[in-house]
Homo-oligomer: A and B are copies of this chain.
Amino acid sequence: MDVAAQETPDAAAPRIAAAIGEPARARMLYCLLDGRARTSTELAAIAGVTPPTASAHLQRLTNHQLVTVTAQGRHRYYRLRDRRVAALLEALSVVAGRPRDAFVPRTPIRLRAARTCYDHLAGTLGVSLHDRLMALGWLSSSSKKGPAYDVTAAGIAGFAALGIDVAATRALRRRFAFGCVDWSERRPHLGGALGAALLEAAEQKKWVVRDLDSRAVELTPRGRRDLLARFGLET
């Protein structure tokens, strides 16, 4: 019974919002925001509910096109449906994280320090890396204050040295590179296909390790050393 498929967009919007608007489901979704898949029981633990409850929640999220499920043996892997759902969750975080009087961030330091934003680096690490890339002249902000970026000749060479083919990345059918603002820093980090490629490269080089249960990303000793050497980045 795919409820969502029979509705007008107007009627679907509040139902989708309601689907997100339940703490256990929200925990699941924000965990999946790193773009990876989780099994039903993993998500049950993360949400803090029993498997039957989690199953009901996941069914609802699937009906409303927020997540997709793929069966693999005995396991069923759930993941966010697409980047637009991720964008919705990020937009929600932006509104939820609005500065308020005497606001003190209560987010775990680990998560503020380095984390993924769907499929690219965010947090303080993501922001400093972004600033460094701008300072090095690898990236250029094409429009006056617009979020879209372009890569300079120096940047093409630099990214190539990291094993990133800029031309191939640009050819992907998604936004190439832009300043992605997230809730904890309120400053841009590198988003888009290029940001994703950068995270992938960093993971491959074992500069960073992703946490399984959250969006946290840990900087390895090797990563700390290489980032300093290559970018002059103090972490």
A149 CB to closest chain B CB (Å) equals 7
Which A101-128 residues have C-beta < 8 A from chain B? 101, 105-107
Checking B93, B95, B148, B170 against A148 with a beta-carbon cut-off of 8 angstroms, the contacting residue is B148
Q: At the interface with chain B, which of A2-10, A34-42, A216-224? A: A2-10
A4 CB to closest chain B CB (Å) equals 8
Checking B21, B30, B65, B106 against A21 with a beta-carbon cut-off of 8 angstroms, the contacting residue is B21
A176 touches B23 (CB 8 A): no
A15 touches B9 (CB 8 A): no
A22 touches B14 (CB 8 A): yes
Task: Please name all residues of chain B whose beta carbon is closer than 8 Å to the beta carbon of A88 when the two chains form the complex.
Answer: 88, 91-92, 94-95
**Is A43 in contact with chain B by the CB < 8 A criterion?**
no
Which residue of chain B has its CB nearest to the CB of A140?
B143
Q: Count of chain A residues with Cβ under 8 Å from any Cβ of B?
A: 56
Task: Please name all residues of chain B whose beta carbon is closer than 8 Å to the beta carbon of A15 when the two chains form the complex.
Answer: 21
Task: Please name all residues of chain B whose beta carbon is closer than 8 Å to the beta carbon of A150 when the two chains form the complex.
Answer: 143-144
Checking B98, B107, B145 against A65 with a beta-carbon cut-off of 8 angstroms, the contacting residue is B98
Checking B8, B16, B20, B144 against A170 with a beta-carbon cut-off of 8 angstroms, the contacting residue is B144
Task: Please name all residues of chain B whose beta carbon is closer than 8 Å to the beta carbon of A137 when the two chains form the complex.
Answer: none
B148 touches A146 (CB 8 A): yes
A10 touches B30 (CB 8 A): yes
Task: Please name all residues of chain B whose beta carbon is closer than 8 Å to the beta carbon of A18 when the two chains form the complex.
Answer: 17-18, 21-22
B65 touches A95 (CB 8 A): yes
Residues of A that sit less than 8 Å from B by CB: 4-5, 8-23, 25-26, 30, 65-66, 84-85, 87-89, 91-98, 100-101, 105-107, 142-150, 170, 175-178, 183
